[in-house]
Structure 1
Amino acid sequence: MARARLDVKGATSVITGAASGMGAEVARSLARRGARLALVDRNGEGLAALATDLAGTGHTTHTVDLTDDAAVFALAQDIEAQHPQIQTLITCAGSSMLGDIDQLTMDEMRWLMDVNLWGTVNITKALLPALRRAREAHITHLVSIYGLAAPAGRIPYAMSKFAVRGFTESLRHELEGSRVTVGAIYPAGVKTGIILHGRFAASIDPAVAQRAANAQAAMYHTEPTDAAERIVDATVRRRPRTMIGREARLVDILTRVTPTRYWAPMRRPLREAIDTTTPFA
């Protein structure tokens, strides 16, 4: 059933990962449309700088570690107290991790799952009561092209993004018939620097990790401002599934056509980006 488009002017959007990258660009786009913003990140200085630059009024900043469940649920109460009309939640917070299964420790993989998966689940669960009270509301989760296809050398990242995809789709089904709709965004190659600023297994030579990160970043083509406009448009239109970038659309088709053999055509273009074992020359 088609849903009416949201009018974000004067209503509140909560954005995680707002201090930089995709979250900051989404915040700027929504501010230009007249939305009030609750900006969430662990980087308080970055949030303050962004809030100073934003158009409009009524924006608030909230510094929190999204891996701390108790802090996140307390944060939700604080946001609700300052924003009586929460209309949308857009989860942009996340990180990356380079390394293959032999290089990664369990703690390193758990850390990324905590950030990417549980940091998405807990803020969604904490704000869901407020979103249910809205006349109309929408939740947008940023997944990834690696929530469609799982490459070698990215096990914890792919695990976390497939899990976010599953959470998003299950939540969408649970909320059918309610006033809250849920959508997933699948970006491919947005030039935010996430891979360059992400983590890598401690057992990897930093020069080797940097080489792999540079190779991955060289494959990114979409400008953050363009991606942000697509994310905000998908939120306003309450779309359940949105691909950003040509590669995302191609991988979506590829995994549907050949769900067990899609890695063969992906391996070659990703060979340098997933190589964390060859010594640095």
Structure 2
Amino acid sequence: MPVLDAAGRSSAITGAANGIGAEVARALARRGARLALIDRDRAGLNRLAEELRASGAEVTVHPVDLRDDAAVAAAGAEIEAAHPQLQTLITCAGSSMLGSLDQLTMEEMRWLMDINLWGTVSITKALLPSLRRSPAAHITHIASIYALASPGGRIPYAMTKFAVRAFSEALMHELEGSSVSVGAVYPAGVRTGIILHGRYAAAIDPGVAGRAAAAQAAMYHMEPSEAAERIVRATLRRRPRTLIGRETRLVDALVRLAPVRYWGPMRRPLREAIDTTTPMSPRRSEAVTPPRRGSAPTPG
């Protein structure tokens, strides 16, 4: 399978306005790629596009809510017109959700599934015709360490990421023998705002949600720029499976060794991050800033 060269070739990135998506765009721009930037955050896209154009990159921006299938199809047509032979698609858009099954509503869980899974499926389907026209192309879906092992307290997020993993693997098999290859990337904790700017169940006390989100964020050690470099390298090398971070490799090994009992060793380091029920002390609650509640943040 030939290795891809980004220079002069087109790449589409979802969740490009911030976080890992923005760093992936910067890493591809340094390699001379032409870029189609996709995100719901129009202002963030325009800021990044201005930055990249100042460095000499060719960039198109495509503001779209990935939950809107019709809007995604229209954006796909725009991208196809601007980038007739798309070489790579990297789906970085996503959000998070805190809460136990007792605390979560069906609407809250469906909201996350619409972003993390169906948004990924929709943009992939929309851009696949353009990818097929390239002599060689690759699709990279960003999964998660929680697509390898499911922690308590993260049911919606783990469901969406396991589903992204299943979609990636099934699509890889479906496209076998074609010019388009598919891979999934499994990062551990990356220092983005996903957990702090995600959403939490309306039934959770805001201070408790903030404490849990802060505990999760404290476990994130990798800088987005480092994760992005590894994602871009995996994409250009057309790797089907990429583990990023020491924790991911450990969890992958743990699940293989103890596919039923892996939660025992995982539970202790996650205990504060998954605790959305223990009340806050008054003094500590004043120092905690909760993530968003109720209204949906910008995916990605």
- TM-score per shorter chain, which class? over 0.9
1:34 partner SS: coil
Structure 2 counterpart of 1:219: 219
- Cα-to-partner distance string for 1:7-43 (whole Å, 9 max, x where unaligned): 1111110000000000000000000000000000000
Structure 2 counterpart of 1:125: 125
CA distance in 2, matches of 1:169, 1:29: 25
CA distance in 2, matches of 1:193, 1:59: 24
CA distance in 1, matches of 2:135, 2:56: 23
- Cα-to-partner distance string for 1:120-154 (whole Å, 9 max, x where unaligned): 00000111111011100000000000000000000
* Paired letter, 2:222: T
Structure 1 residue corresponding to 2:19, chosen from 18, 21, 39: 21
> Do structure 1's residue 31 and structure 2's residue 29 form an aligned pair?
yes
Q: Report how many aligned residue pairs link the two structures.
A: 279
Q: Which moved more, 1:53-62 or 1:149-158?
A: 53-62
Deviation at 1:52, TM superposition (A): 1.0
CA distance in 2, matches of 1:253, 1:51: 40
Structure 1 counterpart of 2:201: 201
Cα contact 1:112–1:156 (8 A) shared by 2: yes
CA distance in 2, matches of 1:43, 1:122: 18
- Per the normalisation by structure 1, the TM-score is 0.98
Runs of 4+ with >4 A deviation: none
- Per the normalisation by structure 2, the TM-score is 0.92
* Paired letter, 2:140: T
Structure 2 counterpart of 1:50: 48
Cα contact 1:21–1:193 (8 A) shared by 2: yes
Trace 1:2-13 onto structure 2 (pairs within 5 A). 3-13=1-11
> Do structure 1's residue 277 and structure 2's residue 277 form an aligned pair?
yes
CA distance in 2, matches of 1:58, 1:277: 49
Q: Give me the CA root mean square deviation.
A: 0.6
* Paired letter, 1:205: D
Identity of aligned residues (%): 73
* Paired letter, 1:16: T
Deviation at 1:77, TM superposition (A): 0.4
* Paired letter, 2:40: R
Structure 2 counterpart of 1:267: 267
1:196 partner SS: coil
* Paired letter, 2:102: D
Cα contact 1:36–1:56 (8 A) shared by 2: no
CA distance in 1, matches of 2:257, 2:179: 34
Where does the alignment leave 5 or more consecutive residues of structure 1 unmatched? none
2:214 partner SS: helix
CA distance in 2, matches of 1:35, 1:212: 39
2:87 partner SS: strand
